[in-house]
Structure 1
Amino acid sequence: MSSTVPAGSLPELGFYGLAGHSAAPRDLLDEVRLGERLGLGSVFLSERFNVKDAGVMAGAAVAATTTLGVGTAATNHATRHPLVTATLAMTAHRMSGGRYAFGLGRGFDLLFDVMGVQRITSAQIEDAMGIYRRLWHGEAFGHDGPAGAYPYLSQDPSFDEDIPIMLMAIGDRSLELAGRVADAVVLHTFLTDETLARSVGVVRRAAEEAGRDPASVRVWAVLATVEESIPEEQRLRKLVGRLATYLTGYGRVLVKANGWDLADYERFRDDPLVQGYPGAFDAVGTTDELRHLAEVLPDAWLAAAASGSAAQCARRVVDQLDAGADSVILHGATPTELAPVLEAYRAIRPDGLDALTANPGWGRR
């Protein structure tokens, strides 16, 4: 396991590579190099079925950097054979010298329906994690469980590797699962500070009830970060457009998690612009459309992010740590856009964070 953190690095902070919708995956190379130079601790790579393959991006990120942590956040166990997935993770792990963390998520039922892929359950995720870990420790075995039936699985009998597994979670059952079996958990964007604190508590309690050290599960908050110096259209897209896109996809889950008023959500859903909108607001929304949505969405919902000046954004990062998160992903912003925020954050950075490892899947070890 690689735990070396270079001097001046901020291991508690991460960013998403190719944030949002990108048609130029090669941009990831410049992003990770700049992120490393700026001192960001980790890059997270979210898979999309277009030009954002988890394995290709992870290989590119670890090859273009020397100290940056790299995490898949996330892919889905059901879209690859477990031996293929285990090989992806082992390759990235060894290529990176231990800087890589593998991440799983539940995904979207409607997408899996049209793909012809079985909808994912917590039992399947837990079962798949067990398969990967056995393979990474050199076991050869047959398996029949929630994640599928496989007559024979084996990678290499000489393997004896610990590769951290991260779980993406928002609801209590997923949070409890993360506390029981994951090495790290990545929460959702646009959680209120109160919901963040409660989510951390759910993870810690589940870990303790499972006989684990609650502090060993690294909790990543995900904070939409929109600094005021970027153009208005981009600010609207990254803040209003991103929240609106989430709300059209799985809004009830997010509203329930935050304890927001369901009537506000229904008002958003019933808005003529939202009804039958032909795409993702954060990808194709016009400036006027996004301005309209900013009027429809409650201010308190949009406040569950970091916006305004660099100093205001930096203060919101500290708020996430104060709420109990171990680390914070600055979501939706490129390293170039994050540079002024990082400068402001260094001036108010809390003590004790250098004990975190470079690998985003491990905590203080």
Structure 2
Amino acid sequence: MPTDLRWDVPEARVLDELGYYLLAGAGGTGPAALVDETRQGEALGLGTAFISERWNLKEAASLTGAACAVSDRMHIATAATNHNTRHPLITASWATTMHRLSGGRFTLGLGRGIAAMYQAFGVPPVTTAQMEDFAQVMRRLWRGEMIFGHDGPIGSYDLLYLDSDFDEDIRLALVAFGPQTLALGGRAFDDVILHTFFTPDTVRRSVQTVKRAAEQAGRDPDTVRVWSCLATVGDHLPDEVRLTKTVARLATYLQGYGDLLVRTNDWDPMVLQRFREDSVVTSIPGGIDHKATTDQIEHIAGLIPDEWLEPSATGSSQQCATRIREEFGHGADAVIMHGATPDELAPVVAAYRAGDSRAAAGTSRPGPTVSVRPE
């Protein structure tokens, strides 16, 4: 769906409080699409482009390098990669390279991953203690420290060292779900990214957990930015596309970690059980969002209550823009418009700008800001 994405940059403020995912979902037409999606998102004036990692055609280091190279202003963040799939020095070096390549626009975002998939692939599970230890090691390496005899949750290393001249201010983000991870984000990370399909109550509770943990750790809670991840699917999109981006996406999450999502949102676990036992669901060889047919997704739609799909921005472009703004009222500092390309988001962004009285004054939403430090 071609869209005129050109903006008069001197007049249209950068929407630092809005982000989107590159190669949303399973990756669409392939990794090469990332180049145009990056340029289009920047042209729309979006603040941050996020990159998730899948172990097929979405390797994070390659994609972040491409995104940083074809953008000039927008921040590029992983959300997420995993700390235990690369040596700590490789990750620290990659982040420093991206930081300097982009002029300080890179954020290293980490996540816990899916335990069942890790077990199948022979990768050790990720713990909260490991992610905290890893964050501390990254910051020390970026400060130019030489770490001798590290023995912690991420492992034992005789020597960890990059360069004594380093003094890098690289943002760290954490994709958080449960209370322990949310609290970790508050005390040790700069950005915390919530999960899609969190109810308003869950968003409020999650933000409170992050901010309280930051304060208890002696940090200014306003410096920790919490992102709501809000599925944004306007009715200007075809029916089949909307079905995939809502029903199929939520169904895929229920496949991977349904118990956690249901428990977090205080949903009915019996609905999840019926979903898991359904013959259509069990017949799909992989993630529903990229393996199921339209007929199968339509069947699955009948298994998922409407209230489970409500934590999303749907309807007209104006309704989507209004729903995005509501997330700020629930406590979020910023919103990721999840699951859609810049072309698909363009009408929603236009509606958001139309209702943004701050744009005329050239101000943005109060809250944590991200500065770019020239190298």
Range of TM-score over shorter length? over 0.9
SS of the equivalent of 1:18 reads: coil
Quick check: 1:130 aligned with 2:136? yes
Cα deviation, 1:230-254, whole Å, max 9, x if unaligned, reads 1111111110000000001100101
Match of 1:80 among 75, 86, 90: 86
Contact residue 147 and residue 161 of structure 2 kept, 8 A: yes
C-alpha separation between the residues in 2 aligned to 1:163 and 1:141?
Answer: 18
> Which residue does the alignment assign to 1:89?
95
> Which residue does the alignment assign to 1:206?
213
What are the ranges of 5 or more consecutive residues in structure 2 without an aligned counterpart? 1-8
Contact residue 166 and residue 361 of structure 1 kept, 8 A: no
SS of the equivalent of 1:71 reads: strand
Match of 1:259 among 262, 266, 270: 266
> Which residue does the alignment assign to 1:232?
239
User: Shift in Å at residue 348 of structure 1?
Assistant: 2.3
SS of the equivalent of 1:19 reads: coil
Contact residue 42 and residue 358 of structure 1 kept, 8 A: no
C-alpha separation between the residues in 1 aligned to 2:170 and 2:185?
Answer: 15
Contact residue 86 and residue 132 of structure 1 kept, 8 A: yes
Contact residue 196 and residue 221 of structure 1 kept, 8 A: yes
User: Shift in Å at residue 262 of structure 1?
Assistant: 1.3
User: Shift in Å at residue 355 of structure 1?
Assistant: 5.6
C-alpha separation between the residues in 1 aligned to 2:343 and 2:282?
Answer: 35
Contact residue 168 and residue 187 of structure 1 kept, 8 A: yes
C-alpha separation between the residues in 2 aligned to 1:289 and 1:322?
Answer: 36
C-alpha separation between the residues in 1 aligned to 2:341 and 2:284?
Answer: 27
Contact residue 101 and residue 360 of structure 1 kept, 8 A: no
Contact residue 318 and residue 350 of structure 1 kept, 8 A: no
The alignment's TM-score, normalised by the length of structure 1, stands at 0.94
User: Shift in Å at residue 102 of structure 1?
Assistant: 0.5
> Which residue does the alignment assign to 1:50?
56
**Which structure is higher in RCO with an 8 Å CA cutoff and minimum separation 6?**
1
User: Shift in Å at residue 353 of structure 1?
Assistant: 2.5
> Which residue does the alignment assign to 1:308?
315
> Which residue does the alignment assign to 2:168?
161
Structure 1 pair 30–104 and aligned structure 2 pair: CA distance change class (3 A): same
Structure 1 pair 354–261 and aligned structure 2 pair: CA distance change class (3 A): closer
Cα deviation, 1:212-233, whole Å, max 9, x if unaligned, reads 1111100000001111111111
C-alpha separation between the residues in 1 aligned to 2:102 and 2:326?
Answer: 32
Contact residue 218 and residue 361 of structure 1 kept, 8 A: no
Contact residue 284 and residue 291 of structure 2 kept, 8 A: no
C-alpha separation between the residues in 2 aligned to 1:360 and 1:242?
Answer: 33
SS of the equivalent of 1:269 reads: helix
User: Shift in Å at residue 339 of structure 1?
Assistant: 0.4
C-alpha separation between the residues in 2 aligned to 1:359 and 1:73?
Answer: 17
Contact residue 207 and residue 331 of structure 2 kept, 8 A: yes
User: Shift in Å at residue 277 of structure 1?
Assistant: 2.6
Match of 2:34 among 28, 31, 44: 28
C-alpha separation between the residues in 2 aligned to 1:295 and 1:114?
Answer: 31
Match of 1:250 among 254, 257, 266: 257
My pick for the range that moved more, 343-352 or 11-20, is 343-352
Match of 2:340 among 321, 324, 333: 333
Contact residue 140 and residue 153 of structure 1 kept, 8 A: yes
C-alpha separation between the residues in 1 aligned to 2:78 and 2:323?
Answer: 25
Structure 1 pair 44–248 and aligned structure 2 pair: CA distance change class (3 A): same
**Count of aligned pairs between the two proteins:** 358
SS of the equivalent of 1:342 reads: helix
State how 1:332-351 maps to structure 2 within 5 Å.
Answer: 332-349=339-356, 351=358
Report the RMSD for the aligned CA atoms in angstroms: 1.8
Q: Percent identity?
A: 51
Contact residue 25 and residue 52 of structure 1 kept, 8 A: yes
Structure 1 pair 72–32 and aligned structure 2 pair: CA distance change class (3 A): same
Give the aligned residue type for 2:364. Answer: L
The alignment's TM-score, normalised by the length of structure 2, stands at 0.92
Contact residue 227 and residue 308 of structure 1 kept, 8 A: yes
My pick for the range that moved more, 218-227 or 7-16, is 7-16
SS of the equivalent of 2:208 reads: helix
Contact residue 275 and residue 281 of structure 2 kept, 8 A: yes
> Which residue does the alignment assign to 1:10?
15
Contact residue 222 and residue 368 of structure 2 kept, 8 A: no
Quick check: 1:178 aligned with 2:185? yes
SS of the equivalent of 1:167 reads: strand
Give the aligned residue type for 2:307. Answer: A
Contact residue 306 and residue 316 of structure 1 kept, 8 A: yes
Quick check: 1:353 aligned with 2:353? no
Quick check: 1:320 aligned with 2:327? yes
Contact residue 224 and residue 368 of structure 2 kept, 8 A: no
C-alpha separation between the residues in 2 aligned to 1:55 and 1:274?
Answer: 33
Give the aligned residue type for 2:214. Answer: A
> Which residue does the alignment assign to 2:3?
none
Match of 1:19 among 13, 18, 24: 24
User: Shift in Å at residue 341 of structure 1?
Assistant: 0.3
User: Shift in Å at residue 113 of structure 1?
Assistant: 1.5
User: Shift in Å at residue 284 of structure 1?
Assistant: 1.7
What are the ranges of 5 or more consecutive residues in structure 1 without an aligned counterpart? none
C-alpha separation between the residues in 1 aligned to 2:196 and 2:306?
Answer: 16
